[in-house]
Amino acid sequence: MSTEPLLRQEDFTVGWICALPTEMAAACAMLDEEYDMLNTQHPADHNSYQLGRIGHHKVVITCLPEYGTNPAATVAKDMLRTFESIKVGVVVGIGAAIPSEHNEIRLGDVVVSSSEGTHGGVVQWDRGKTRDGVFERSLNKPPTVLRTALANMRSHHLRKGDNIVDTIRIALQQNSRLRKNKFFFQGSEHDTLDRTNRDDDDPIIHYGIIASGNQVIKDEQERDRLRDDLGAICIEMEAAGLMDSFPCLIIRGICDYADFRKTKQWQPYAAMTAAACAKELLSFVHNQSLGPTPNIIQVLNPIAEQVADLHLLQRQDQIEEWLSPPDPSESHRIAIEKHQRNTGAWFLGSDVFAFWEAGAAHSLWLHGIPGCGKTVLSSTIIQHLRQRPGTVTIFFYFDCRDPQKRTANGMLRSLTNQLYTEQKNSRPPLDELQDRRRELTSDLLLATLFQMINLVIPTVQIVLDALEECQERSELLKYISRLCDLSHANIQVIMTSRRETDIESSINRWMAKINHVTIQHKYVNEDIRTYVHEKIRNDERFERWQQYPEVLREIECGILERAEGMWVMYLPTVSVSADKN
């Protein structure tokens, strides 16, 4: 055991994972030099390591606490916590062969995962399903640098053969305990399948699909089904937990045939042949090609983020389908189309809005006569608020013509869905509610909305337009009064409606009159004037009059006289004027 004077965590670029102490013993026997463990292991990393060198590569070897795909994933994740510099991984140990006429695999041989067709080299056989001949749980391919090294090694072996036997012989000569524990060839007479077609007992390396799962297979029919369905030539129990979280190559020494004659006799030798193959593979991974290879953790972080984003989108779709919320975006789009520069500037520049925006006022009620432009003003406010940092704006446009947009329940479903979509931190309460499949009553929705808002750091600003168009007015006003409760410090509300008796009476009980804003004709007329001025100078129906400014001014004045402070009056007037002229 030695310690290089300048040995650092970032020097280690190869991660080697084993499942059994027998496999780890064989792996350590392949080291050209062993190192003491460094004193900088990540506090969340519970693995135990053997550090060493194989050729030019610094290698980290660890062993799973138990069989299975889940422990393998945990061990790999912990390894990457401490050794962030690891660029390639190998999972090396024992496996069961799936013999066939085409693959004369025998005990002591080696199987290396190799991509074929749609598979990345490893298939999780106990998950997914076969569809149109394609298994839907094939896992990621190993890194390019390993696949390139594997191709070079196969080419070399075709010309000059491998060094597995010599590597094992040297390891056994150097360690008498390995000989004592039978890490050598067990004899052809102990192989349950015929070996007479072979010239010698040297292990043969096979390349193909490895089936991975959490269950031990000791049944020929189940084994052969994996061969016929998946094209697998080997079975093991760890790789499926690693390929998507620790891109690696799987190397398995064959210790049995996954049948009723399964024993442990061949396990030590099979572990040695796999380890010797892995050592030889690393000799084909050159430092020049490994240098530009990204660290595994650098590869995984973007993938993990993409997968997480995909899961969030899928969950978001599920929530939206379950909530079935009314969509206010179309009403908002139509209102925005009436905007011109400075539309609503009279309100956005007012003292009362400045106090509200600064948090001095908790809620505002804007009221006016029918058709005075409340909805256009609401859309102006929403657009303005959306541009402010540190706040979240959600909104709802009531519309008596749309059954979904004229109920308090519809408003609450829409507001809840918008907050869920825009603020990831707000999602747990609604996720929990959806998991419990509770009936979406308005009381439950409001309680959930409050829980979600409490998880959001910015202030949540709510804009509600045209309260008078809600058919459940008393219920609606009850919920709005609770939204405007001063105890909810991170909620601010602006609402618009006609000045109708029941609405005003309810609002007077919980809102100071200083926060009531009348939408006056003179302000609305200024917005209409701006809009009409731009409209008649850009609408192609007025194109022939563009060279007669006095005619355009006359048309503009006529429209404004008829509008009389009402947005609903100017639209047909513009249309009629264009058609007549």
Q: What is the pLDDT of residues 106-141, one digit of tens each?
A: 999 999 998 765 566 888 877 654 444 444 455 567
Q: What is the pLDDT of residue 469?
A: 95
Q: What is the pLDDT of residue 309?
A: 63
**Cβ-contact 194, 58 below 8 angstroms:** no
**Cβ-contact 552, 577 below 8 angstroms:** no
The alpha-carbon radius of gyration of the chain (Å, integer) is 36
Q: What is the pLDDT of residue 532?
A: 62
Give the residues of the chain that fall short of pLDDT 70: 1-5, 67-70, 116-120, 127-140, 241, 243-245, 299-311, 339-341, 371-372, 521-581
Residue in 388, 379, 452 with CA at minimum distance from that of residue 422:
452
Q: How many other CB atoms are there within 10 angstroms of residue 360's CB atom? A: 9
Q: What is the pLDDT of residue 32?
A: 96
Q: What is the pLDDT of residue 326?
A: 95
CA 76 – CA 78 distance, rounded (Å): 5
CA 236 – CA 495 distance, rounded (Å): 64
CA 446 – CA 460 distance, rounded (Å): 14
Would you call 161 exposed, middle or buried from its count of C-beta atoms within 10 A (0-12, 13-18, 19+)? exposed
CA 68 – CA 19 distance, rounded (Å): 8
Residue in 83, 84, 89 with CA at minimum distance from that of residue 35:
83
- C-alpha distances (whole Å) from 433 to each of 141, 429, 439, 448, 480 are 39, 6, 9, 8, 22
**Cβ-contact 443, 453 below 8 angstroms:** no
Report percent pLDDT > 70 for the chain. 80
Q: What is the pLDDT of residue 62?
A: 95
